[in-house]
Structure 1
Amino acid sequence: MPGPVSAAWLLVALCAATGTYCLLRMRSGVEEQRRAAGGEALMGFGMAVMAVPAAVFTPPRWAWPLYAAVFGAAALRALWAARAAPHHLHHLVGTGAMVYVSVAMAAAPPGAHHTHGGSGLPLLTGALLLYFTGYVLLTGARLVPATGPEPAAGARGRPEPGGRPLGWGDRPELARACRLSMGIGMVAMLLTM
């Protein structure tokens, strides 16, 4: 990733921490949570690897097509899942963006790794940048707590339909925060394209 090395390392840390949290969410008792968390862990770790500064590690040329294939398979899985649950469309856009970045890096001249320079802002990069910027703003706004009366003492654990309180990995606001951090990471990566 171009730009200041400290910013690249912050992005690596953010994406790796998000990927790790998503791995922990895979222990959820809710199958849909486990499935979504697995895809999000893949995205988090993939973004962390892509964000490592080029001065530290430059992947070999064959790695970029491999990344594209892995994220292409994840995109097909998200497309299949989106038939039944439309919220998987975001996963489809995210994995598609990772395929796009991987293909762009594979097509870059050998000496231009992590420089992403080019002639202006390609249309697809701009569209993805608009999507993820909007997603970050909307998700961030949803995380802001609404002001209102304090919930009853028993309502803080937010019991699930079976009557048991939700585990920390099943909390919707934590999943949103995870997706928000990956959206921020994607915006940062797309800005460098």
Structure 2
Amino acid sequence: MHGPASSGWLLVALCAATGAYCLLRMRSPVEEQRRTAGAEALMAFGMAAMAVPAAVATPPRWAWITCTAVSGVAALRALRTARGGGHHVHHLMGTVAMAYMAAAMTAAPSHHAHGGTGVPVLTGALLLYFTGYVLRSGVRLLPLATAPVPAAGAVGWGDRPELSQACRLSMGIAMLAMLITL
């Protein structure tokens, strides 16, 4: 992605830490939570790889093509599960955004992908979606932070709803930052 190296490294750290937490959440005894955590870990680590500052490492074109393909396959999988609604629709939007950003970098990895003036329609639509998602997630997180903590052993730390919501919020913020620099 484009932008200052320091903000790129902060995005890398945020996304990698989120991905690591999502991997730990995959140890949940609840199958749906394990699947969701796996999808979120894939997205977080993919975002971390995409956020590495271009001044440090400029990946070859085949790396962006591979990232586009992996994100596209994840988007197709998310499309299949998104029919159920809920958080699965957000996974679909996230994987589509990842595939779009990787495809844009495949087309023009060394300069702004859209090239022209203004913001492309798809970029604008994704920016609006993720802005709304971040605002909604932040508001939804507030009541969870003040809720009483369950008794020890009742819920594993990886199954706590406020932690997974904070994970999703941080990935939404990172996605916004990456779309802005596209």
Question: In which range does the TM-score fall when normalised by the shorter chain?
Answer: over 0.9
Q: What CA RMSD, in Å, does the superposition of the two structures yield over aligned residues? A: 2.0
1:47 aligns with 2:47: yes
Q: 1:132 to 1:111 in 2, by over 3 A?
A: closer
Q: Distance in 1 between matches of 2:120 and 2:171?
A: 22
Unaligned runs of 5+ in 2: none
The answer to whether the Cα contact below 8 Å between 2:145 and 2:162 also exists between their aligned partners in 1 is no
Q: Distance in 2 between matches of 1:121 and 1:64?
A: 21
Which of the residues 119, 132, 139 maps onto 1:134?
132
Q: 1:71 to 1:111 in 2, by over 3 A?
A: closer
Which of the residues 100, 107, 122 maps onto 2:120?
122
Instruction: Compute the displacement of 1:81 (Å).
Output: 1.4
- Cross-structure match for 1:94: 94
Q: Structure 2 length normalisation: TM-score?
A: 0.92
Instruction: Compute the displacement of 1:146 (Å).
Output: 7.2
1:64 aligns with 2:64: yes
Q: Distance in 2 between matches of 1:138 and 1:84?
A: 20
The answer to whether the Cα contact below 8 Å between 1:116 and 1:192 also exists between their aligned partners in 2 is no
- Cross-structure match for 2:14: 14
The answer to whether the Cα contact below 8 Å between 1:61 and 1:106 also exists between their aligned partners in 2 is yes
Letter of the 1:183 partner, please give it.
Answer: G
- Cross-structure match for 2:150: 157
Letter of the 1:192 partner, please give it.
Answer: T
Unaligned runs of 5+ in 1: none
Query: Which one has the largest radius of gyration?
Result: 1
Q: Number of matched residues?
A: 181
Q: 1:111 to 1:83 in 2, by over 3 A?
A: closer
Q: Distance in 2 between matches of 1:137 and 1:122?
A: 23
Bigger helix fraction:
2
